[in-house]
Copies of this chain bind each other. A is one copy, B any other.
Amino acid sequence: MNGIHDMGGLHGFGEVPVETDEPVFHARWEGRIFAMTQVLDTTGIYNLDEHRHEIELMHPADYLRDGYYGRWLFAMERILDRKLILRRTEVDRRLDEQAANIPKFSTLTPQRQWPLTAQQKIRWGAQRPEEPITPSFAVGDRVRVRNLHHSGHTRLTAYVRGRAGVVSKVNAESWIYPDTRAHNVGDNPQAVYNVTFDAQELWGDAAEPGTKINVDLSEAYLEHDET
């Protein structure tokens, strides 16, 4: 999807804000959300790309306002609600009861998709070495990035679409295709390439001299450059 998360090349965000003596987490809740997500990642409830896509589905204004771990909290709540593990209504009721100082919280209703059966569990990592693939491109090949604009998850950044570059590395490992895995419609294992772009190709006259941009791109994002 074309979203605010796909920030490469945008103006308007000012200087990079560097903090001195920065803690690992800036508030206790940030650490809890981070670590809870790590645990949930291992449960088979969802996969990495689903998590990323859930964040992308935030309204752009919320995305910009809620901060890094605020986005993770948002995604956690939405995924758990959608997957019938913990309903949003249950969280809201708990918060209401806390606010009202109820001595004993309501019992959680038993109907939920938990625990998951082995068949229901979704696999995590992105490498699929057991499904070997033959890459279509080789180091040195000139490739053009396809102009894809589908509404789902993608790792194809907007700023390279339609642009030509050179394959600088072939990660011949069999990797999942995020665009389909995020929607649980198949792993579609394929090669991931590192493609080198001249800055001029991406940014025209606004490019800084003597800079190259390297981006890792799935095979489905690329075609042979015909020009």
A residues lining the B interface (CB < 8 Å):
1-4, 9-14, 56-61, 64-65, 146-151, 162-163, 202-206, 227
Contacts and interface: CB of A to CB of B under 8 A. Distances in A.
B57 A12 contact: yes
B204 A148 contact: yes
Given A2-B9, A3-B12, A149 B203 contact: yes
A63 to B, nearest CB: 8
Contacts of A3: 10-12
Contacts of A60: 4, 10, 12-13, 60, 64
28 contacts: A1-B12, A2-B11, A2-B12, A3-B10, A3-B11, A3-B12, A4-B12, A4-B60, A9-B149, A12-B56, A12-B58, A12-B60, A13-B59, A13-B60, A14-B59, A60-B60, A61-B61, A61-B65, A64-B64, A65-B65, A146-B204, A147-B203, A148-B204, A149-B205, A149-B206, A150-B205, A150-B206, A162-B162
A149 B12 CA distance: 13
Nearest to A161: B204
A185 to B, nearest CB: 16
Nearest to A61: B64
Contacts of A2: 9-12
A227 B202 CA distance: 18
A159 to B, nearest CB: 9
Contacts of A149: 9, 203-206
A204 B147 contact: yes
Contacts of A11: 1-3, 151
Contacts of A151: 11, 206
A187 B60 CA distance: 35
